[in-house]
Structures are given as C-alpha cells and as structure tokens.
Structure 1
Amino acid sequence: MYFSSAMIKVFTLSLLTALIVTSCYNPERNCTDFKTGKFEFETYLNGEVVKTTFVRNDTLEIDFYEGKADSSSIRWINDCEYIAEKINPTSMRDRKALHFKILTTKDDVYTFEYALVGESNKQKGTAKKIE
C-alpha cells in the first residue's frame, strides 16, 4: 500500500491535534464546593449496597451508619485533600488516620480516593451532596 506525503502529513497533523486536545483535558475539581455540607455515600459491604450519611464542616465530620454516629476531626491539607482521625477510636485500626483526596466534581457529586495514612492501597468512592 502506498501513502502519499500529503496523506502522511494529514494523518500526523490529526494525530498531534488529538493528542494535544486530550492531554489538555483536566477533570472538573471544584473542591471548595464540597468542603462542608451533608453527603450520602454508597458502597458495597459484604456483598450488599450500604448507604452512609455524613455531615462535614471545616474541622469535624460526623458519619451516620445503621443508627450510630461516629465523629472524626478533619485537617485540610489543601482544597482537595484532608486527613480524618476518629475522635473516640474503639480499635487499633480506628486509631489510624485516613487520607482523603477529591479527584473529580460534577454538579452535586464528587469522586474521591482514600487510604490509611502511609498506605498505598487506595479505595475509591462517590459522594453526593444533599444539603
């Protein structure tokens, strides 16, 4: 098969344009819109979808799950990342702080990743702002 130099130039230009457009794409991250408020978070736990509600302000997050409340102190690292530490831990695992990072935002929903501080095994989740 023969390709003319004009065809190669058009192909190369198209490829470069596509690379430039996709490399400049930055997902929406309006993290400050999600620093405070009331949120819902759904996840799978033991094969079932469970829903947690939590309320967060600048320094405190209160999680509500199965009729119980659990409080954590919040320390923001930047507009999109914070460290959460249980105020009244009941186990050694609860004593370890969690690092949260907001990855993307859209309308009233944000996606995030989280892990124990210092751990590389990250989990992902999605939360919806309800108030």
Structure 2
Amino acid sequence: MQKRVINPWTWQDTRGYVQGVEVRQQEGVLYCAGQAAVLPDGSSSTADMKTQMQQALQNLETVISKAGYACKNIVRLTVYTTSSEELFATCFNDYTDWTQKHGVQTALTLMEVKSLYETLSIEFEATVVR
C-alpha cells in the first residue's frame, strides 16, 4: 500500500488529522462500524465522555487488530459526539495523544449529533487500508 498525505496548510497538525489521504495499491479495505463505549458484556457505558472516549478507541483498536490491520492505516475517521463543547473541553487532547501514539494521519470529520445509542456520548467510525 502507498499512502500520501495532502496538507496544504500546517494548522491541522496539532489537531490530530490531515486534510486528505490518497491510497494506492492497497491490498484490502476495512470499513469499521461505529465503535463506542460498549462494554464486553454488550452494555453501554454510563461513564463521562473522557472515559467513554478511551473505551471507544480501545474497541476500535480491537476491531482493527482482529482484522489484521493497523491503526496507523486509518485513512478516514468520523467522530460522532453528543457535545462538541464537552469533547473539546475534556478529552480532545486524549484523541490527539492517541493519534500520535499510533501514527494515525487520517482525514477526519467531527459531527455533533442529538443522541447516540442509550447512554453513549461518543462514537468513532473508521476506514482502514492494508
């Protein structure tokens, strides 16, 4: 797989994403369902958004690794949250730390939604290539 990042500016560098990702000669594409803070028993977390983000990212990592892919090859990530204000105030730095830890350079869209399933406050939907 060949991956090329397109960044006409530098301001997004500290925000944990890139403006565009071109992929050539990939061997496979993994489309991940939205991963949220759903616990191993199938129950939805009632924790705060920061804790839910950690669980959701861990769940995303699990799906990606079980499929034989790597987080560094996430090329598209959509974040759904019930409160953008809370996300930026309490845990956006956790997200950027996670991207740095895994070498993630992804095109990113963040959307505030009225609600997510049951008690969930954040969800990640990813496209990963190999």
In the superposition, the TM-score normalised over structure 2's length comes to 0.24
Bigger relative contact order (CA 8 A; separation at least 6): 2
Q: Which has the higher helix share?
A: 2
Answer with 1 or 2: which has the greater Rg: 1
Q: Which has the higher strand share?
A: 1
